Structure formats: C-alpha cells, structure tokens
Amino acid sequence: MPQGRLLTMRALLILAAAATTSAAPPAAPMQTHAEFDVPRGKPQWVIVQTRDFASGAASGWHVHPGIEVGYVASGQLEVHTKGKVSVLNAGDSFTMPRGLAHNGVNKSPQPARIVITLVVDKGAAPRQPVKAP
C-alpha cells in the first residue's frame, strides 16, 4: 500500500476512534410506568391532545372508555380520584385506568399545560362526564 494511502487510513481510524469516545453516553434503560390490556374484539382509537388549565380551572369529573396517560408539560395540576389527590408538577406524568372517575384541578397561580394520550374504544365518546364520587 502506498505511504500516502496508509497515512490516510491511519488518520481515518484515529478519527473514527475519537468519534466513538466522544459520542453521547448511552440512554438510560427504559422504565415501564404502566401496562394496560386493550380489549380484544373492540377497535381502539388513539387520541393525543393538549389541554391548558388557567389558574383555578378544572376539567370536571369524567371517565374514559379506555386508558389515559397524561404528562404535565408546565405548571402544576392536582388529579382527584375518589379519596385521593395527587399533586403533579411539570415533568410528572399519570395514568388513569378505564372507567375511573377523575378531575384535574389547577390550584396554583400559574397556568398549567397537560399533554394527554387516550387509547379508547373507537366510536365511543372519549370523555364522558360523571358526578363526583
């Protein structure tokens, strides 16, 4: 192999080695936060939405014909279920099982934004109002 080509190959190997050592560290292992069965025989529909809560705003008590996964993108939200209140801050998430009555309330002075993913029965109203438990 000619001397110039050998130097080029060495330079490429050195650059490749440097690139692998300065690469970003590997991502942390995946963490499973919830698992849900999806009913067989029922077509499902995935809905992704955002909802903004002004200070003092509430979603009202409701249920879903499927599961809800929520992520607090900004602000703070209280999630109320029968006998329980969870205070969630920006970066927190929650899951809501099928048919569990719940109500989101922003009691903080700042607005809150929630990213919601629903996996619900296709054709059913994705959000169904109910009385407070």
pLDDT, tens digit, for every residue of 67-105?
Answer: 999 999 999 999 999 999 999 999 999 999 999 999 999
79: exposed, middle or buried (Cβ count in 10 Å: 0-12, 13-18, 19+): buried
Q: Over 70: is that where the pLDDT of 14 sits?
A: no
Answer whether residue 22 is part of any domain.
no
Give ∠ CA 52-114-94 in degrees, rounded to 5.
150
Greater confidence (115 vs 7) lies with: 115
| Any domain includes 96 | yes
Q: Is residue 74 part of a domain?
A: yes
Would you list the DSSP string of 9-63? HHHHHHHHHHHHHSSPPPPPPP------PPPTTS-EEEEEEEEEE-TT-B--SEE
Query: Domain range for residue 66?
Result: 44-129
- Domain count for the chain: 1
Q: Is the pLDDT reported for residue 10 higher than 80?
A: no
In-domain check, residue 14: no
Where residue 42 falls (left for φ over 0; alpha for ψ -120 to 50; beta otherwise) is: beta
Looking at the domain assignment, is residue 28 inside a domain?
no
Residue 38 belongs to a domain: no
> 64 lies in a domain?
yes
CATH of the domain at 53: 2.60.120.10
Could you give the CA distance from residue 3 to residue 104 in angstroms, rounded to a whole number?
A: 71
Domain membership flag for residue 32: no
